[in-house]
Amino acid sequence: MKVLAVLYNGFKAAIEEPRLLGTVENKLGMDKWLTARGHEFIVTSSKDGPNNEFEKNIVDAEVLITTPFHPGYLTRELMEKAKNLKICITAGVGSDHIDLNAAVDHKIQVLEVSGSNVTSVAEHAVMSMLLLVRNFVPAHEMIERGDWEVSNIARNAFDIEGKVIGTIGAGRIGYRIMQRLLPFNPKELLYYDYHEIPPEAESAVNCKRIGTVEELVSQCDIVTVNCPLHEGTRGMINDRLLSAFKPGAWLVNTARGAICDEHAVSRALASGQLRGYAGDVWNVQPAPKDHPWRTMKNPLDGGNGMVPHYSGTTLDAQARYAAGTKSILENYLDGKPQAHQNVIVGAGKYETTSYGIH
């Protein structure tokens, strides 16, 4: 059968570092294995513009492997052309680049490597909070310029201790973030989620559930976004919701860029309503060179902690999601059952509520 993978280019780095498995060059470590089994394995980074390799090869592929870090956007229109497509595997976590409702209608399975990125992303989120709250980026830029003006940095630097911190979404990643924040001695840990955390898990991190997103953000000094992107969360953090934030709050988003209105966030940062915004996810990836999040600043010329989408693709995470992708594909090829936690769309129906309640 034909297996198509859309991955990101690793260039020289992937040649020098073979553990960069999620790249075109290193092919998730599956090239020889699939070829030995007699399958055709097409790996490309070409996914945008006319005559891209993704759209050309999806027409007769039976298996599609994609990644959240360089997403091949599988629309309903493309599914109509993909007559042989039976299964989509996300090498990582987050399958919002696939039209999941269309996958249900076309009886195309969608699976992802559940849990493969949770530690990596949780660590990145906590790091992002620290670099915003401590005003790290402007401090480092000052050193690079050859300057030394401590007061200009310290006037916008704070401690995490004693702050109210809230997560929108308290699943595998959101909960791990709260676990990692507990030693910083925050004033309160709050969460909003349509699933309630079991009482013993709430007690373990001393967190409290809040009934609405609006109520959550109005109480928090720091807000972290840890929910999937779906119809109910797309554009959720907009001008209206940002106006409910505590003035001068920090916002960290390592979930999906499109959960936030890019222009609303830029305006809130420029006005000082947000003191800082950090994350690694963008509404379009790769992000355009003129994307406002690349250069936006707060009134004190700081508050921007944006980086490329890499929190869930550390070398440790790549080893996990490459192994998980191979396991899912092997189960499919051998007709074995899949691990339930990896299945987003089964045979014509959703198998999870992670992408909204269906």
- Strand, helix or coil at 43? strand
- Candidates 109, 117, 156, 273; catalytic one: 117
Annotated active-site residue 117? The verdict is yes
Report whether 130 belongs to an annotated binding site. Answer: no
What is the Cα–Cα distance from 312 to 325, expressed in whole angstroms?
15
Report whether 301 belongs to an annotated binding site. Answer: no
Report whether 312 belongs to an annotated binding site. Answer: yes
Return the structure tokens found at 64: 């599609």
For residues 177 and 122, is the Cβ–Cβ distance under 8 A? yes
- Candidates 309, 318, 320, 342; catalytic one: 309
- Strand, helix or coil at 338? coil
Report whether 280 belongs to an annotated binding site. Answer: yes
Report whether 115 belongs to an annotated binding site. Answer: no
Annotated active-site residue 340? The verdict is no
Report whether 261 belongs to an annotated binding site. Answer: no
The size of the chain, in residues, is 358
Report whether 221 belongs to an annotated binding site. Answer: no
The DSSP secondary-structure symbol of 105 reads H
Report whether 73 belongs to an annotated binding site. Answer: no
Report whether 198 belongs to an annotated binding site. Answer: no
- Candidates 70, 97, 256, 275; catalytic one: 256
Q: How many CA atoms lie within 13 A of 211 on its CB side?
A: 0
Report whether 195 belongs to an annotated binding site. Answer: no
Annotated active-site residue 309? The verdict is yes
Q: Backbone dihedral region of 157: left (phi > 0), alpha (psi from -120 to 50 degrees) or beta?
A: beta
Report whether 358 belongs to an annotated binding site. Answer: no
Report whether 230 belongs to an annotated binding site. Answer: yes
Residue 287 CA: distances (Å) to CA of 280, 282, 284: 10, 6, 5
Q: Are strands 343-345 and 109-112 parallel, antiparallel or unpaired?
A: antiparallel
What is the Cα–Cα distance from 8 to 75, expressed in whole angstroms?
19
Catalytic residues: 117, 256, 285, 309
Point out the annotated binding site for NAD(+): 172-173, 193, 228-232, 254, 280, 309-312, 354
Point out the annotated binding site: 93, 117, 172-173, 193, 228-232, 254, 280, 309-312, 354
